[in-house]
Amino acid sequence: MTADHVLAIDQGTTSSRAIVFDRAGRPVGSHQLEHAQITPAPGRVEHDAMEILGNVRACVAGALEAAGVDRAAIAAVGITNQRETTVVWDRATGEPIGNALVWQDTRTQDRVDAVAAGDTDRFKARTGLPLATYFAASKVAWLLDSVPGARDRAAAGELAFGTIDSWLLWHLTGGPDGGVHATDVTNASRTLLMDLETLDWADELLAAWDLPRAILPVIRASSGTFGEVADGPLRGVPIAGILGDQQAATFGQTAFEPGESKNTYGTGCFLIVGTGTELVRSEAGLITTVAYRLGDEPVRYALEGSIAVAGALVQWLRDNLGLGSTTQELVDLVETVEDSGDVYFVPAFSGLFAPYWRADARGTIVGLTRFTTRAHIARAAIESTAFQSFDVIEAANRDLRSLREHGETNGAALAELRVDGGMTVNDRLMQFQADILGIPVVRPAVVETTALGAAFAAGLAVGLWRDLDELRGLWREEARFAPSIGADERARRLDRWHRAVERSLGWID
């Protein structure tokens, strides 16, 4: 059998998936499993890393069975992952020293405040990131401080730290018996520990968080062979691509060049706009991050707008408020009303991310009247994703306008928005997004571009695909949504939204 397929492991915030793609970039078999969301207290969100590992192994086997292929057909494995979620584990046993701390977890705010010393941009020039609980550094420090003896064991090299990609890579390549402890530049760029210019861990940043270098993975390119799967149905197949989930989605959308972008609608919502080999410092509240690196080629950078709560709000409405026993029931409820009844929902459950970066914000519903029904609240919740996306896209356009004013060639405003992720199957939401943005929204034929991007990176590394131009030829448009409301109505709705955001601020002292 010819090795002309790639298997992508897509380890997300709420579930793990494995998808087999053929050489045309088409999914031919998949398997998915959810894992528990552990919320022991307000602001605390954890995952069982061993459960995730077990689910990934099961998904790999299930995807191969669904595709009707075995390892002989698989040229390479790609991994994409929830990025900032943090695991610390014992190198000898492979067991984590505690639950993984999820990117949404805010328990480390006091530690972040202490490092910031009143300046959340203290290390932004080096990392591209504001000091926030979102990123991994404070989570590692908390785990080492919270488990007796962990700091001494970390300094002695007995413990390992990694985001979920590193955790999976280490175990899949042998674990305690020779597992590869590495990460890629995109995931490393989300830790608050990597220098964006040197692409290496920075001693100054490690000192600020009091973290020993001995626990860190090696940083490698996004596309290149990391190691071979040690056992199971993929034994001997190279793991040849790793990308953080949002960078993987961008790669899967074939948005490789400066000014090209995508917006992913998942648990959170994430805009990435490429800036090429130029490291652009945002002046509008966005993150500067790594987009990808192919082998020894120069690294590519991007601007990112991160929204904490998008699809997670649908899950919250379903599970916490009981607005439907299934997601489909909730969607059906939303369809019973034509609009939100002038209700606005700001889902700042853990503060607001880009472009506000306000940890003191909390979830707020405004505009309630006797007319309001649960369907209006549900619709306002769905529409909040489009409004939040407008804010980060407008921030990106401000940065791009600034580039244009300074004579940069990659400073054009976004002319259309490529979208992906689970929420994009909702045509009404996509139409509303186009209405609020005032530009076309384009949905690809393969909406699960996160997994596709990991597959592309791995396939490039082993020669299954020649180059980026060949990958561009595989991308296909499935639907296009054009704006259908006027400028005055758009402005009115955005004004109400921003007034609602103002009312969400300052709830936490």
Q: What pLDDT, in 10s, does the model give residues 215-263? A: 999 999 999 999 999 999 999 999 999 999 999 999 999 999 888 889 9
State which amino acid sits at residue 486.
G
- Enter the pTM of the model: 0.86
3-state secondary structure 335-376: CCCCCCCCCEEECCECEECCCCCECCCCCEEECCCCCCCHHH
Give CA–CA dist 231/158, Å, rounded: 24
3-state secondary structure 252-283: HCCCCCCCCEEEEECCCEEEEEEEECCCCCCC
Q: How many Å is the maximal CA-CA distance in the chain? A: 66
> Residue 410: pLDDT above 60?
no
> Residue 404: pLDDT above 70?
no
What's the confidence (pLDDT) of residue 229? Answer: 97
Residues in a beta bridge with 304: 272, 287
Residue 211: partners with Cβ closer than 8 Å, 6 or more residues away: 137, 140, 141, 144, 154, 161, 193
Exposed, middle or buried, 91 (CB in 10 Å: 0-12/13-18/19+)? middle
Give CA–CA dist 273/255, Å, rounded: 8
8 Å CB contact between 168 and 175: no
Model confidence at 281, pLDDT cuts 50, 70, 90, reads confident
Domains and CATH numbers, the chain: 311-388+492-503 (3.30.420.40)
Q: What are phi and psi of 281, to 5 degrees?
A: -90, 120
Starting at the edge strand that comes first in sequence, how are the strands of the sheet with 27-34 ordered? 27-34, 15-21, 5-11, 74-81, 238-244, 223-228
DSSP output for 89-148: EETTT--BSSPEEPTT--TTHHHHHHHHTT-TTTTHHHHS--S-TTSSHHHHHHHHHHST
Averaged pLDDT for residues 369-379:
93
Specify the 3-state DSSP secondary structure of 423.
helix
Model confidence at 76, pLDDT cuts 50, 70, 90, reads very high
Element containing residue 162 per DSSP (H, E): strand 159-163
- Quick one: what percent of the chain has pLDDT higher than 70? 97
In 281-320, which residue ranges form alpha helices assigned H by DSSP?
Answer: 311-319
Give CA–CA dist 294/269, Å, rounded: 25
CA atoms within 13 A on the CB side of 329: 10
Residue whose pair of structure tokens reads 């280490």 in the numeric block = 170
What sign does the dihedral 283-287-291-296 (CA atoms) show? positive
pLDDT digits (tens, 9 = 90+) for 31-56: 999 999 998 998 899 999 999 999 99
Give CA–CA dist 111/463, Å, rounded: 45
Burial 284-302 (b: 16+ CB within 10 A, else e): bbbbbbbbbbbeeeebbbb
What's the confidence (pLDDT) of residue 386? Answer: 94
Residue whose C-alpha is closest to residue 61's, from 22, 31, 26, 16: 31
Residue 441: partners with Cβ closer than 8 Å, 6 or more residues away: 416, 417, 419, 430, 431, 433, 434, 480, 481
Mean pLDDT taken over the chain = 92
Residue whose pair of structure tokens reads 């970039």 in the numeric block = 25
Exposed, middle or buried, 308 (CB in 10 Å: 0-12/13-18/19+)? buried
First to last CA, the chain: 63
To the nearest 10 degrees (0 to 180), the angle between helices 374-405 and 327-334 is: 90
> Residue 274: pLDDT above 70?
yes
8 Å CB contact between 352 and 307: no
Exposed, middle or buried, 212 (CB in 10 Å: 0-12/13-18/19+)? middle
- Higher-scoring residue by pLDDT: 331, 80: 80
Give CA–CA dist 219/184, Å, rounded: 5
pLDDT digits (tens, 9 = 90+) for 436-480: 999 999 999 887 889 999 999 999 999 999 999 999 999 999 999
pLDDT digits (tens, 9 = 90+) for 164-198: 999 999 999 999 999 999 999 999 999 999 999 99
What's the confidence (pLDDT) of residue 260? Answer: 85
> Residue 267: pLDDT above 90?
no
Give CA–CA dist 21/325, Å, rounded: 33
Numbers of helices and strands, H then E, in the chain = 16, 23
> Residue 408: pLDDT above 60?
no
- Higher-scoring residue by pLDDT: 367, 402: 367
Q: Which of 131-140, 149-158, 414-423, 435-444 has the lowest mean pLDDT?
A: 414-423
What sign does the dihedral 204-208-209-212 (CA atoms) show? positive
Model confidence at 407, pLDDT cuts 50, 70, 90, reads low
What's the confidence (pLDDT) of residue 144? Answer: 96
Residue 199: partners with Cβ closer than 8 Å, 6 or more residues away: 185, 188, 219, 290, 293, 299
What's the confidence (pLDDT) of residue 183? Answer: 98
